[in-house]
Structure 1
Amino acid sequence: MTRANERLMNRISDVLTGFDALNLLNLRRLLVQRTVAASQDAATHINAWQWMNGVTTGVINGVSGLCQDAMLLLTGFMVWQHLVPIGTINASLNFAGTIFAGMTGIMTSVMDMASVAPIFEKFAAVPVRDTAGRKPVGRFHTALQMQDITFAYDPNSRPILQDFSLTVAKGQKYALIGPSGSGKSTVLNLLIGNLTDYQGTLRYDQTNYQHITPDSLINQVTYLDQTPFMFNDTLKNNLTMNEPYSDETIAAVIQRVGLTDLVASLPQGLATMVEKDGRNLSGGQKQRVVLARGLLQGRQIVFTDESTASLDPASAQAIEKMIVTDPHLTVVMVTHHLRPTIAQQVDRVIDSTEFVPA
């Protein structure tokens, strides 16, 4: 039943997420059809579980009743034989009721535990990183280094990166260019510590990644992608993530990321509620909010993964210019369309053809 409920939620989430696509194809009927089909599948399994639960409960209660009757008959026989006093019948009934009621409760609990076992199996299957002997890193000072890195998602396939080296120096700006699937995002995921099954050496300020706690590395990086997430909360809480920053600090970051005009234009200012998925903010504004979150947390490394691909050209260029011209930020920008003006402002452009030797 637990797996049936999981399939139901996955299928409903899938069709709701794809509503815009179905609507544009004039296939809204599929929304209903797939939801009904998923509901019927779940109902079939739930009914089967309920039937099994009813039968099992009936059997358990029936056996319990028979056992109590047997004890009553045995006690009555012993009274008839003058082996025990007649008051033993009452004591026997109470004893049997207590024992078999407890056994019934245990069997019911066992059934309930079995029904949720798949949930705990999923928890057990979640990989846990071994952080024994690792230490947290502090603020970024010198460089991130990739030295002779070779990586493949499948050991039997051609490596995405092979003997690739890169030094990301503090305060410098880098652009990774190339077609989709060429390994640009892989570089970012290696640098942020999401991918660990690589050959070669990764260093943060001369400290090997193998000696660093993953969370402390992530705490140094702001990651911008095409779909920045907005919480259905106030603009201030979306910026601060409910952390206690001073008004002066918040105002300084707002100005730094270019949100001053937006805040000033809102009747409630920072107290304005952000709608679900940030529907009342533009794509560029959401990118600036995410960047502001990182700056408030003291993160001075920025990775952008095609973050402006869905923005209009003017907004995209404004966001990119803001990031690459900030002297305090260390930036690695992934893009398949590097604008000439931005190319002139970065310190190095790395083509994906450099990832694997010719």
Structure 2
Amino acid sequence: MIDDLKKDLLLFYKSMRELNFNKIKLSIIFITMIASNILGLINPLLFGKIINGIVNKSMDSIKINLLLMCLVLFISIILNYINNIMLIKFTTDLDVNMKVNVFNSILKIPYSDFLKIDKGKLINNIEDDSTVFSNLLSNNISVVINTISMVISFFIMLYISPILTLILVLTLPITAIIYMISGNKIKLKEIEYRNNHDSFLSFLNETIYGWKFLKLFNAEKERCNIFKKTVNYLYSIKINEFKIQLWSGISINIVSFLANTLNILISVYLIFNGKLSLGMLTAFNSYAETFKSSSLSFTQLNSIIQETAVSLTRINEVLNYKKKSESKNSLCQNLDNSIQRIEIKDLSYSTLDNIEILKNINLEFKKSNIYIIKGESGSGKTTLLNILGKFLDIYTGDILINDFYLRNIDRKSLRNRVNYITQDNFLFSLSIKENITLYRDIPFESIENICKRLNIHDTIMSLPNEYETIINKNGNDLSGGEKQRLCIARSIVSKPDVYLFDEITSAIDKNNIEEILKIIEEISKDSIVLLTSHEDLKFSIPVIEYHLRDKDFTKQIVHTS
């Protein structure tokens, strides 16, 4: 348990050091909080003097101390207002920056790793785990403020009554042990909940995307039963976590009750013997409550660290992808010239399960040519395109682009010159124009011209807002062929040096296929075009066909239609 706490504290400290925040603003927040806190600690002493004034029938003492209490309250209100406004703005900025950082890190995850990661976990990373840093900062501020409150309260209590202070302090080790035990149990429950909640979000995502298939196979009832079972299980974890916190609280209350009872008996004895006034007893009790709440925050710190450590570990896993990506890119080179030639030497690729897909492949692709790659489903056609698009990095052999090793080329630089159209035909919930440009600066005239060539312009113009029409989730208001043509337009409009087309004609009717093949012939004059296809595509110019069999390209045909 102690070793785990040390690891969590180390992670806690390391994460705090990595936070990039405005130190001046944070210093002002600290100063206003400390000032407000110190002013708040004056009031119990003033109130105790008022009680003594009432007992002694001293109106002057009562008036002076009442005025001082009002002044302290007024200043405290102003300081608290300033502090809370600054703190909420500060933590909000930190949250936003952290969410953006996590979102950016997710986009840096290597393709092979992204396929294995639970997508629900990534959503949780952005929504919940990313707030851990603002909570971390708030907790650290609270620790400092509570330390000051506890120290000041301790010395004032010691001044009022050393023996009552000693009894109060002796309860701290007991409460600390209770919170350490409960904190460790809470951490285990929190890990269990987060992992199951990740899977639950993925389950919801799959249900929404697979809604049509659930209806087709009458699987709604069974899916609903799984949903109910999962939700009940998640709630049961939280209930068990609450029970741990509840029993921990009950134990602390029992310890506090026994300590308070002993303090009351001793206080009565001291008052009866003239060693303690009623006003000072009132003040002592107020300081004792402040001391206990501050000290309890320290004993609860273990629970907070345990819960925070879960989020910190999860969030650091994602942030590390960005760090690794930036580290790799700093060593990579840019492609400054257009791509003339791609050479593959002894390329072999196996999955993480050691299933060999490609073996000792040697190929060459040159500008102004069309290459068709054929092979059975699962033979490795898409894998080859993923490697050339730098989505898969773990392979043996070499790939040279203009005599530069693919491994050493910056990803962003490569993808400015290599465009990859996948079988997925994914469209975003953006306008048609934005889906084609995808955040690139492309003239509208170019977009319109390519859409006319792809026979989709008239369809777009028939929509309510034409090119500004917002596409529904993943383009579900368009046909498969229309979505595919928009994705082709997205690729062609930027005029890259290399086109990687993966089964791009699979959802397009024969009339439109002919026009698309003509466009491919045209763009191939100034580029390298690679297509994977099961179909016999009828080009009017010579093309080069590679047949993939037994993990290697065994046949090459040059022909015209």
TM-score in same-fold range (> 0.5): yes
Relative contact order (alpha carbons < 8 A, sep ≥ 6): 1 or 2 greater?
A: 1
Bigger Rg, which one: 2
Aligned residue pair count: 355
Q: By how many angstroms is 1:278 displaced?
A: 0.9
Structure 1, 232-241 or 120-129: larger mean CA deviation: 120-129
Match of 1:138 among 328, 331, 336: 336
Partners in 2 of 1:193 and 1:17 — Cα distance? 28
Q: By how many angstroms is 1:178 displaced?
A: 0.5
Q: SS at the partner of 1:341?
A: coil
CA contact (8 A) 2:454 2:489 kept: yes
Q: SS at the partner of 2:397?
A: strand
Q: 1:164 and 1:268, CA in 2 relative to 1: closer, same or farther beyond 3 A?
A: same
**Is 1:350 aligned to residue 546 of structure 2?**
yes
Partners in 2 of 1:284 and 1:91 — Cα distance? 79
Partners in 1 of 2:411 and 2:350 — Cα distance? 21
1:198-237 paired onto structure 2 within 5 Å = 198-237=395-434
Determine which structure has the larger helix proportion and give its number: 2
1:319-358 paired onto structure 2 within 5 Å = 319-326=516-523, 327-335=525-533, 337-342=534-539, 345=541, 347-353=543-549, 355-356=551-552
Partners in 1 of 2:433 and 2:339 — Cα distance? 30
Match of 1:153 among 330, 346, 351: 351
**Is 1:37 aligned to residue 234 of structure 2?**
no
1:184 aligns with 381
Q: 1:253 and 1:308, CA in 2 relative to 1: closer, same or farther beyond 3 A?
A: closer
CA contact (8 A) 2:497 2:528 kept: yes
1:26 aligns with 218
Match of 1:272 among 461, 469, 472: 469
Partners in 2 of 1:25 and 1:148 — Cα distance? 46
CA contact (8 A) 1:79 1:85 kept: yes
Partners in 1 of 2:453 and 2:340 — Cα distance? 23
Q: By how many angstroms is 1:210 displaced?
A: 2.7
**How far does the alpha carbon of each residue in 1:267-289 deviate from its partner, in whole angstroms, 9 at most, with x for none?**
42112221222122222222232
Partners in 2 of 1:185 and 1:23 — Cα distance? 31
Could you tell me the TM-score, scaled by structure 2's length? 0.55
Q: 1:186 and 1:245, CA in 2 relative to 1: closer, same or farther beyond 3 A?
A: closer
1:1-358 paired onto structure 2 within 5 Å = 1-60=193-252, 63=255, 89-106=281-298, 110-111=302-303, 114-115=306-307, 117-126=309-318, 127=321, 128-129=324-325, 130-131=327-328, 132-138=330-336, 140-154=338-352, 156-157=354-355, 159-255=356-452, 257-316=454-513, 318-326=515-523, 327-335=525-533, 337-342=534-539, 345=541, 347-353=543-549, 355-356=551-552
Partners in 1 of 2:340 and 2:213 — Cα distance? 46
Partners in 2 of 1:64 and 1:223 — Cα distance? 67
CA contact (8 A) 2:347 2:396 kept: yes
Q: Which amino acid aligns with 1:10?
A: S
5+ unaligned residues in a row in structure 2: which ranges? 1-192, 555-561
Partners in 1 of 2:224 and 2:231 — Cα distance? 10
Q: SS at the partner of 1:160?
A: strand
Q: By how many angstroms is 1:133 displaced?
A: 1.8
Q: By how many angstroms is 1:218 displaced?
A: 3.0
Structure 1, 295-304 or 193-202: larger mean CA deviation: 295-304
Aligned-pair RMSD on alpha carbons? 3.4
Q: 1:188 and 1:31, CA in 2 relative to 1: closer, same or farther beyond 3 A?
A: same
CA contact (8 A) 1:143 1:170 kept: yes
Partners in 2 of 1:245 and 1:149 — Cα distance? 36
**How far does the alpha carbon of each residue in 1:43-82 deviate from its partner, in whole angstroms, 9 at most, with x for none?**
2222222323333344455556666666777777777787
Q: 1:295 and 1:94, CA in 2 relative to 1: closer, same or farther beyond 3 A?
A: farther
**How far does the alpha carbon of each residue in 1:315-337 deviate from its partner, in whole angstroms, 9 at most, with x for none?**
455445433442344321122x1
Could you tell me the TM-score, scaled by structure 1's length? 0.82
Q: SS at the partner of 1:229?
A: coil
Q: By how many angstroms is 1:102 displaced?
A: 2.8
CA contact (8 A) 1:75 1:88 kept: no
Q: SS at the partner of 2:196?
A: helix
Q: Which amino acid aligns with 1:356?
A: D
Q: By how many angstroms is 1:176 displaced?
A: 1.1
Q: 1:189 and 1:97, CA in 2 relative to 1: closer, same or farther beyond 3 A?
A: same
Partners in 2 of 1:74 and 1:316 — Cα distance? 95
Q: 1:108 and 1:345, CA in 2 relative to 1: closer, same or farther beyond 3 A?
A: farther
Partners in 1 of 2:453 and 2:526 — Cα distance? 11
Partners in 2 of 1:64 and 1:299 — Cα distance? 73
Structure 1, 111-120 or 171-180: larger mean CA deviation: 111-120
Partners in 2 of 1:305 and 1:287 — Cα distance? 11
Q: By how many angstroms is 1:177 displaced?
A: 0.6
5+ unaligned residues in a row in structure 1: which ranges? none
Q: 1:87 and 1:240, CA in 2 relative to 1: closer, same or farther beyond 3 A?
A: same
